[in-house]
Amino acid sequence: MKNKVLYTINKSELDKLIGILQRDGYRVVGPTVRDGAITYEEIESVRQLPIGWTDSHAPGRYRLNRRNDDQLFGFVVGPHSLKKFFFPPKQRLFGIKRDGESGYVFEARQPDPPRYAFLGVRACDLAAVGVQDRVFKQAMAEPYYAKARDDALFIAVNCTEPGGTCFCGSMGTGPRCTEGYDLALTELRTTFTVEVGTNKGRQLVEALEHETTDANTSHLVDLLMDNASEHMGRTLDTENLPEILLKNLSHEHWDEIAKRCMSCSNCTFACPTCFCSNVEDSTDLSGNHAERWRTWGSCFTLEFSYHTGGYSRSSPAARYRQWLTHKLANWHEQFETSGCVGCGRCITWCPVGIDITKEATTIANDVKRSRANQEAKRLEEVGS
Amino acid sequence: MEPGPYDIGLVEGSISTPEEAERIVQVRKECRFLVTIGACATSGGIQALKNWADVEEYKRIVYASPQYIDTLDTASPVAAFVLVDFELRGCPVNKYQLVEVITALIAGRRPQIATSPVCLECKRAGNVCVMVAEGTPCLGPITHAGCGALCPTYGRGCYSCFGPSESAAAEALCAHCEKTGTSKPTIVRMLRSFNGYLEPFKQVGDKYERQAVNN
């Protein structure tokens, strides 16, 4: 990646870029300050970006702070990922109307998704879109998702200052964007360097005032990326982790976590890869009209595991274990990738600050320790 | 009451007097489906705060002629006296949920009323969590959904008008609130409002009250 040609554009070109995207019929979505956080919203100009803001992340704690400069992308990730744009939280799937005595009319058509251009997307969020592609495009062939996704344009921004709950370095998804973008920017003091990912991206760069980045600046970008990799707020050792977790489903630590876990589902909805949903049919009072709706669902609710005979995961410990082991272990088997991209949202946005890296590491370390003890004992017995 | 039978009986209010305790038995007999609606009918309501107090003392303080007041020592949910087919939570109830319950009973299906926490509605609405981003104590994680996360949508913590959610982890939430600076007496007041007499709010509220007194 480091040998890729970089271009340099002035920061003032960014408004021009937004204008071009709007002219091309894109709905431009970018980070903006709303309700004490940086969220993805539809934007019309650079002025709406979080200029001079940064965010601090800790388990169960998020705060916005002023920076001492005017960086446009001087923050990490907000509470929202791109998930809500491709997989809306509430969606009507179809309606049925009674027609005459015995007939029905289906209204199955959904409105087409808007054409989105995402500005300021991070490497972890791009990776998450890749993970959701495997679920919604390959495993499920979800038409709304596929259309929204294929029409979308991604202008990513490399992270130079990871946050307190970030661990993309451990999950191999960041901090540098390596795939899935049309353009990837790195913010410097007065300029951006630009990496081109697609032909669409190339056309955009050519429409802007640009020059080839000199070797020194290119080297600076590499240094910034290396520095970012070394300053992750969290780490997670993923070696043998799926095997360790799946062989220790009765580990006592699951019950310890359950004393703190509220089963409130916040982690699953903040997670950019969690894809579960509820499907509900409803009728109106007249009995002549019915609708089917899909809403975000969560494995932390009782209803999620309800079947004839009751709930298969009635204890909070079973529900947390299901979520963590699916994310970090079973996902590999199911989709040939980890379900975790290391964005840290489940840690920051857990109201009581439960930390997936800490919980998984506690179990893994304990298992490794007891395995080492057993091995030492075995060797001792063999030796004696 | 006009003599029944009725297909659906909707009951508001708690059982607070001997007369109500008798009448509800008759209401139950007359109704095929008995549905209680609102925090008073499903938890005892705000008047259930008297369950922690001396009712005789209250009567003397509040009423000029306490001898005319005929009341039970406690205010209780209807379900403490008779079998209830469906309890619709909320103070006030959500009118769309009420229509859903009636529609479902007419159609002979199960009402689609989620028992999961308010957080699910809050996140689906795209709200920024007030607990995480502002440090505001919020009962959303342990409160029954149904309001559409009304208070957090306007930047306030949830007061639990809808009472405890399914497997409400009141203990875990209160431990966190305490750790982040909410005092024990405040935690007791948070839990003892519209639905304070429902478990696990009652048990956890009582525990914090004992600790506050002992401190």
What's the longest Cα–Cα distance across chain A?
Answer: 88
Render pLDDT for B126-176 as a digit per residue (tens, 0 to 9).
Answer: 999 999 999 999 999 999 999 999 999 999 999 999 999 999 999 999 999
Residue B135: left if φ>0, alpha if ψ -120 to 50, beta else—which one? Answer: left
| Residue A2 pLDDT exceeds 80 | no
Q: What is the rounded distance in angstroms from the CA atom of residue A62 to the CA atom of residue B104?
A: 42
pTM, two decimals, is 0.95
> Is A209 in contact with A191 (CB distance < 8 Å)?
no
Provide, as residue numbers in chain B, all residues whose Cβ is less than 8 Å from the Cβ of A301.
114, 116, 120, 166
According to the model, what pLDDT value does residue A100 have? 84
Q: How many CB atoms lie within 10 A of CB A174?
A: 27
Tell me whether strands A183-187 and A37-42 are parallel, antiparallel or unpaired.
Answer: unpaired
Contact at CB, A62 and B132, closer than 8 angstroms: yes
Render pLDDT for A322-358 as a digit per residue (tens, 0 to 9).
Answer: 999 999 999 999 999 999 999 999 999 999 999 999 9
> Is A192 in contact with A15 (CB distance < 8 Å)?
no
Contact at CB, A298 and B116, closer than 8 angstroms: yes
Q: Search chain B and give the residue with CA nearest A283.
A: B103
Q: What is the rounded distance in angstroms from the CA atom of residue B161 to the CA atom of residue B194?
A: 6
Contact at CB, A36 and B128, closer than 8 angstroms: yes
Give the helix/strand (H/E) hosting A316. Answer: helix A316-325
How sure is the predictor about A368, in pLDDT bands with cuts at 50, 70 and 90? very high
According to the model, what pLDDT value does residue B73 have? 95
Average pLDDT over residues A217-236: 97
Q: What Rg value do the Cα atoms of chain A yield, rounded?
A: 24
Q: Search chain A and give the residue with CA nearest B145.
A: A264
Q: What are the beta bridge partners of residue B11?
A: B36
Render pLDDT for B48-94 as a digit per residue (tens, 0 to 9).
Answer: 999 999 999 999 998 999 999 999 999 999 999 999 999 999 999 99
CA atoms within a 13 Å half-sphere pointing along the CA-CB vector of B70? 5
Provide the shortest C-alpha distance from residue B197 to chain A (in Å): 20
User: Which domains, ranges and CATH numbers included, belong to chain B?
Assistant: 6-107 (3.40.50.700), 118-214 (no CATH)
Whether residue B128 lies within 8 A of chain A, CB to CB, comes out as yes
According to the model, what pLDDT value does residue A3 have? 56
Q: Search chain B and give the residue with CA nearest A300.
A: B116
According to the model, what pLDDT value does residue A1 have? 46
Mean pLDDT of chain A: 96
Those of residues 18-77 in B touching chain A at CB distance below 8 A are: none
Tell me whether strands A103-107 and A90-99 are parallel, antiparallel or unpaired.
Answer: antiparallel
Whether residue A296 lies within 8 A of chain B, CB to CB, comes out as yes
Least confident residue range of A60-64, A201-205, B62-66 = B62-66
Q: What is the rounded distance in angstroms from the CA atom of residue A281 to the CA atom of residue B109?
A: 11
Of A62, A79, A280, the CB nearest to B112: A280
* Test mutation, A55, A65, A259, A263, chain B, max B CBs within 10 A: A263
Whether residue A298 lies within 8 A of chain B, CB to CB, comes out as yes
User: How big is the A-B interface in CB pairs under 8 Å?
Assistant: 120
Provide, as residue numbers in chain A, all residues whose Cβ is less than 8 Å from the Cβ of B109.
283
CB under 8 Å to A193, separation ≥6 — which residues? A6, A7, A8, A185, A186, A213, A217, A218, A221
Average pLDDT over residues B179-185: 95
CA angle A294, A297, A300 (to 5 degrees): 165
Average pLDDT over residues A350-369: 98
Provide, as residue numbers in chain A, all residues whose Cβ is less than 8 Å from the Cβ of B107.
283, 287
Provide the shortest C-alpha distance from residue B118 to chain A (in Å): 8
Mean pLDDT of chain B: 96
Buried b (16+ CB within 10 A) or exposed e, A22-57: eeeebbbbbbbbbbbbbbbbebeebebbbeebbbbb
Whether residue A282 lies within 8 A of chain B, CB to CB, comes out as yes
Q: How many CB atoms lie within 10 A of CB B136?
A: 15
DSSP B15: B
Render pLDDT for A171-194 as a digit per residue (tens, 0 to 9).
Answer: 999 999 999 999 999 999 999 999
Of B128, B142, B169, the CB nearest to A39: B128
Q: Search chain B and give the residue with CA nearest A354.
A: B176
What's the complex ipTM?
Answer: 0.95
Provide, as residue numbers in chain B, all residues whose Cβ is less than 8 Å from the Cβ of A266.
119, 123, 129, 141
In chain A, where the domains are located: 6-91+109-230, 241-264+300-337+354-373
Give the helix/strand (H/E) hosting B33. Answer: strand B31-37
Whether residue A265 lies within 8 A of chain B, CB to CB, comes out as yes
Provide the shortest C-alpha distance from residue A316 to chain B (in Å): 8
